[in-house]
A and B are shown apart, each in its own frame.
Chain A
Amino acid sequence: MSKPLHQIFDSMSDMFDYSKQLATGAETLGKVNVDEVQVGTTAKTQIAQFDKVTLHHYKSTVSGKATTAPVLIVYGLIGRYTMIDLQEDRSLVRNLLARGVDLYVVDWGYPSRADQFLNFDDYVCHYLDECVNTICGQQSIDRINLFGICEGGVFSTLYAAKYPEKVSNMIVSITPIDFSADQEDADPSHGFINLWTRNLNSIDIEHLIDAYGNLPGEVMGAVFQALTPVRSLTKYNLNLADMATDRKKLLNFLRMEKWLADRPHHPGAAAKQWLINFYQKNELIKGEFVLDGKKINLSEINMPVLNVFAEKDHIIPPPCSTALGKYISSEDYTELPLNGGHVGIYVSSKLQDLVSSSIFEWLSARQVGSRNVKQKIEDSNGEK
C-alpha cells in the first residue's frame, strides 16, 4: 500500500519537531541549577522538638496583629507537609500568611526503623498534644485552630474528638473518614487504595510491615504510581519532553517531582493501624478505634468544622471525606468541594487563590472576640 506524499511529509515533520523538542529540553534541563528546585521555602522558626518531631512557627509576612488565632497545620505521615508550600506562587502557606493568619506546622521528620513502634497514640495523644500545648503556652491561650490534611486530617479528627476543649475550629482537607465509602464513587479510577487494602489479608499487611519494620515510603510511592499507570510511564519521556522547552514549566515539574520523591517511611505500628484498623476495618466511623485506651466517638466533635475535599480525588474518593458530616455533633459544619485532584487542589495555579481565600474567610468568620478581620488586613497593609 503506498502512502500519499503529504502524509509522509507530515510524519517526518512531526518526528523532526519532536527531535528538536528533545534537544531543546535536554539543553534546558542541563542548565537547571539544583538550588532552583527547592520546596517548602517559606521562612519559619522551629519552636519545639519532641524526639524527631519538630514544631515550627511561620514568619508573618504582614505587619501588625495576626488576623486569626493560631492555626496548626497537621500533615500526615505519607508524604511531607511541603506540598502546601511547593513554590512561591503555589503556596497555601504564603497565601494564608499574606492574609494575616498566624500559622504553625508540625513536621513529623523522617522516621527510621528505630521508630517502628510509634502508633496513633504517640502521634495524636503525645506529639500532637505537645504541639498544641506548646502553642497554647506560647500564646497564653487554651485552644487553637487545627488544620489537618489527608492522614493529618485523621490525626486532627481524632484529636478533636479526644480533646474538644482544646480545638476552637477544625479544618480537614482531602481526609478519609469512611474508608468504605469509595464504593459509592462511580468513577473507576477512584479508590484503588481502598480496594487494594480490602483485598489483602490483615496478616499479609502485618508481615509486609514486619519484614521492613516500617511501611517503606517507596511502597506507597509505587502504589500511588499505579493509580495513574500511563501517566507514570510517560512522564519522564513524553511529558518531560513537552515541558522541557519552557523553563518555568520545567522547574514546576521538577519541584513537584522533588516533593513526590521525598516520601518518608511510615512507622510500622501506625502503618498497621492505618491499613488494618482504618482502611480494612473502618473503625473510625464505627466508633471502634481505640486511642490511648478509649474508643473514639466522633460525635464528641462539636466545634465548627470545615471539610475541604477534591471532586476528582482518586486517592481519597469524595464520599470517604464527606462522610464526616454524618458522624459529628457540630452544628456548624461546612463542606468546600473543589474542582481538582488530591494534590491538585493545593498545587494548581488556578485554585491557589480560591483555596486560601475560602479557608481564610471561613476561619476569620469564626474568630471569637476578633474584630472585623478584613479591616485588620487593611490596617496591616496600611502600616506596611
Chain B
Amino acid sequence: MKKQSSMTGNPLIDAWWQSSEQALRVQSDWLASLTAMGESSDITEVLQSAKDSWEKCEEQYHAWLSAMDEWSIYKDASSDDEDSNTESLDVLKRLLNPKAFFNSGITELDQVFKRLLDVPDFADFGVFEKKFMRINQDWHEMHSASTEYQAVIFKTWSEAFSLFTEEFTEKQKSSPLQPKDMLNNWLNTANDFLVDMQRSDEFLNAQKKLLKASTEYKIKQKNIIEEWCEVMSMPTRSEIDDLHRTVYQLRREVRTLKRQLVDKTEKESPVVSKKNVNKNNKTDNKKSEGVG
C-alpha cells in the first residue's frame, strides 16, 4: 500500500482519521446496497447486492489490517517515546479488530482490573473489594470467550452464505428457482456448514473456553454472594449442599444396615425375610398372572 502523507503531523491521529474516513465510505456503500436490495424485485440482484456488501465489509477489514501495518512503520520512524507508542498501537489494533466490536473496549478495562489485582494481598484490608474485582475480571473473560465463540459461528454463516450465493447465481442462470426451493437450498447449505463447523477444532475449543469461563464466573459469583449471606447470618448454598450430602450419606448407611439385617435374617429364616422385604417396599402385594 502506498505510504500516505501526514495531515496533522501525528502519525497515529492521521492513521485513525484515514481509517474512520474509509469506514464511513464503506458504510455509505453498504447503505446504498441495502436501499438497492429493497427496491429490487429480482432475487438474483438481491443476493448479488448482499454479496457485494459483504465483500465490502471484508475489504474494510483488510484495509484496517494494512493500516495497522502502516502505523507500525510510522511508529518505527517517528517515535520519541517508543513504549508509549507501542502501547497506543496495541490498543488501536485491538479496537480495530472486528472481533473487538463485540467487546466494546472491555479488554482495556480488563487490563486495568488486572493491574489493580496484581498487588499483594493484605490480611484485613480490601479483601472483599478485591474479590469483587476478580469477579469482574471473570465476567470479562466470559464475555471475551463468548465473542470468540460467536465469531466462529459468524464466520461459518458467512462462508455458507458466500457459497450459497455463488451456487444460486449459477443455478438461476440455467433454470430459475422458486422462493421455496431457494429457501430449502439455503437451509441445507447452512446446515451442512454448521454440522462441519461443530466438528472443527476451532469451534470445539471456542466452546470449551466459553463453557469454562462461564462456569468459573458462576462459581465466583456464588462465592461472593455466600460472603454476603454469612455477613447477614443467612444460610448459604454450600451449607445446604453440605446438609444434603449428610442426609445422603446417612440414607446410604441406613440402606446398608437394612440390607445387612435382611441378609442376616434370610440366613436364619429365608421365608420370613422375603416377606419382610416386600413389606418394606410398600407393595400392594397384588398378584398378577405372569408366566415364566
Q: A14-B178, A48-B283, A226-B198 are in contact. Are A67 and B218 (CB under 8 A)?
A: no
Within the assembled complex, what's the spacing in Å between the Cα atoms of A45 and B180? 49
Inter-subunit contact B196/A188 (CB<8 Å)? yes
Give the distance to chain A from B214, nearest Cβ to Cβ, in Å: 9
Tell me if A189 counts as interface (CB < 8 A to partner B).
yes
Stretch at the interface among A200-208, A281-289, A329-337, A339-347: A200-208
Inter-subunit contact B278/A137 (CB<8 Å)? yes
Inter-subunit contact B291/A67 (CB<8 Å)? yes
Q: A65-B291, A139-B290 are in contact. Are A114 and B176 (CB under 8 A)?
A: no
Tell me if A355 counts as interface (CB < 8 A to partner B).
no
Give the distance to chain B from A194, nearest Cβ to Cβ, in Å: 11
Q: A48-B282, A116-B241, A211-B219 are in contact. Are A369 and B292 (CB under 8 A)?
A: yes
Within the assembled complex, what's the spacing in Å between the Cα atoms of A118 and B252? 10
User: In the complex, which residues of chain A have a beta carbon less than 8 angstroms from the beta carbon of B277?
Assistant: 133, 137
Give the distance to chain A from B6, nearest Cβ to Cβ, in Å: 45
Inter-subunit contact B215/A204 (CB<8 Å)? yes
| Residue in A51, A114, A140, A201 whose Cβ sees the most chain B Cβ within 10 Å | A114
Within the assembled complex, what's the spacing in Å between the Cα atoms of A189 and B188? 13
Within the assembled complex, what's the spacing in Å between the Cα atoms of A36 and B27? 52
Within the assembled complex, what's the spacing in Å between the Cα atoms of A169 and B41? 66
Within the assembled complex, what's the spacing in Å between the Cα atoms of A206 and B190? 33
A110-143 with Cβ < 8 A to chain B: 113-114, 116-118, 122, 126, 130, 133-134, 137-141
Give the distance to chain A from B56, nearest Cβ to Cβ, in Å: 20
Tell me if B195 counts as interface (CB < 8 A to partner A).
yes
Give the distance to chain A from B125, nearest Cβ to Cβ, in Å: 30
Question: Per-position contact with A for B203-237: 1 when CB-CB < 8 Å, else 0?
Answer: 01101100110011011001000000000000000
Tell me if A257 counts as interface (CB < 8 A to partner B).
no
Tell me if A195 counts as interface (CB < 8 A to partner B).
yes
Partner of A8, one of B41, B219, B247, B278: B41
Within the assembled complex, what's the spacing in Å between the Cα atoms of A137 and B285? 8
Inter-subunit contact A117/B199 (CB<8 Å)? no
Within the assembled complex, what's the spacing in Å between the Cα atoms of A196 and B283? 43
User: In the complex, which residues of chain A have a beta carbon less than 8 angstroms from the beta carbon of B204?
Assistant: 195-196, 199
Tell me if A49 counts as interface (CB < 8 A to partner B).
yes
Residue of B nearest to A196 (CB): B204
Tell me if A381 counts as interface (CB < 8 A to partner B).
no
Inter-subunit contact A141/B187 (CB<8 Å)? no
Inter-subunit contact A210/B292 (CB<8 Å)? no
Tell me if B289 counts as interface (CB < 8 A to partner A).
yes
User: In the complex, which residues of chain B have a beta carbon less than 8 angstroms from the beta carbon of A116?
Assistant: 241, 244
Number of interface residues of A (CB under 8 A): 66
Partner of B219, one of A10, A67, A207: A207
Tell me if A70 counts as interface (CB < 8 A to partner B).
yes
User: In the complex, which residues of chain A have a beta carbon less than 8 angstroms from the beta carbon of B289?
Assistant: 65-66
Tell me if B255 counts as interface (CB < 8 A to partner A).
yes
Tell me if A234 counts as interface (CB < 8 A to partner B).
yes
Inter-subunit contact B283/A368 (CB<8 Å)? no
Inter-subunit contact A70/B282 (CB<8 Å)? no
Q: A134-B281, A138-B283, A207-B215 are in contact. Are A367 and B176 (CB under 8 A)?
A: no
Partner of B291, one of A69, A212, A226, A234: A69
Give the distance to chain B from A21, nearest Cβ to Cβ, in Å: 11
Inter-subunit contact B244/A114 (CB<8 Å)? yes
Number of interface residues of B (CB under 8 A): 55
User: In the complex, which residues of chain B have a beta carbon less than 8 angstroms from the beta carbon of A148?
Assistant: none
Within the assembled complex, what's the spacing in Å between the Cα atoms of A47 and B283? 5
Tell me if A7 counts as interface (CB < 8 A to partner B).
yes
Question: Per-position contact with B for A1-19: 1 when CB-CB < 8 Å, else 0?
Answer: 1110001101100110000
Tell me if B264 counts as interface (CB < 8 A to partner A).
no
Inter-subunit contact A139/B287 (CB<8 Å)? yes
Inter-subunit contact A134/B283 (CB<8 Å)? yes
Give the distance to chain B from A226, nearest Cβ to Cβ, in Å: 7
Question: Per-position contact with A for B251-292: 1 when CB-CB < 8 Å, else 0?
Answer: 110010000000000000000001001100111111111111
Partner of B44, one of A1, A199, A211, A213: A1
User: In the complex, which residues of chain A have a beta carbon less than 8 angstroms from the beta carbon of B180?
Assistant: 14
Inter-subunit contact B287/A138 (CB<8 Å)? yes
Tell me if A34 counts as interface (CB < 8 A to partner B).
no
Tell me if B45 counts as interface (CB < 8 A to partner A).
yes
User: In the complex, which residues of chain B have a beta carbon less than 8 angstroms from the beta carbon of A212?
Assistant: 218
Inter-subunit contact A213/B283 (CB<8 Å)? no
Within the assembled complex, what's the spacing in Å between the Cα atoms of A189 and B251? 43
A167-215 with Cβ < 8 A to chain B: 168, 188-189, 192, 195-196, 199-201, 204, 207-208, 210-213
Tell me if B22 counts as interface (CB < 8 A to partner A).
no
Tell me if B25 counts as interface (CB < 8 A to partner A).
no
Inter-subunit contact B290/A66 (CB<8 Å)? yes
Inter-subunit contact B284/A47 (CB<8 Å)? yes
Tell me if A41 counts as interface (CB < 8 A to partner B).
no
Partner of A229, one of B191, B219, B281: B191
User: In the complex, which residues of chain A have a beta carbon less than 8 angstroms from the beta carbon of B274?
Assistant: 137
Apart from A118-B248, A210-B219, A211-B218: 7 A-B pairs, beta carbons within 8 A: A2-B42, A3-B42, A49-B282, A50-B281, A133-B281, A200-B208, A234-B187
23 pairs, A vs B, C-beta closer than 8 Å? A11-B43, A11-B178, A14-B179, A14-B180, A48-B282, A51-B251, A66-B289, A67-B291, A68-B290, A68-B291, A114-B247, A137-B274, A137-B281, A138-B287, A189-B195, A192-B198, A195-B198, A210-B219, A228-B191, A229-B191, A230-B188, A368-B292, A370-B291
Q: List B residues at the A interface (Cβ < 8 Å).
A: 41-45, 176, 178-180, 183, 187-188, 190-191, 194-196, 198-199, 204-205, 207-208, 211-212, 215-216, 218-219, 222, 240-241, 244-245, 247-249, 251-252, 255, 274, 277-278, 281-292
Closest 10 CB pairs of A and B: A69-B292, A137-B278, A230-B191, A229-B194, A117-B248, A370-B291, A199-B204, A211-B218, A65-B289, A3-B42
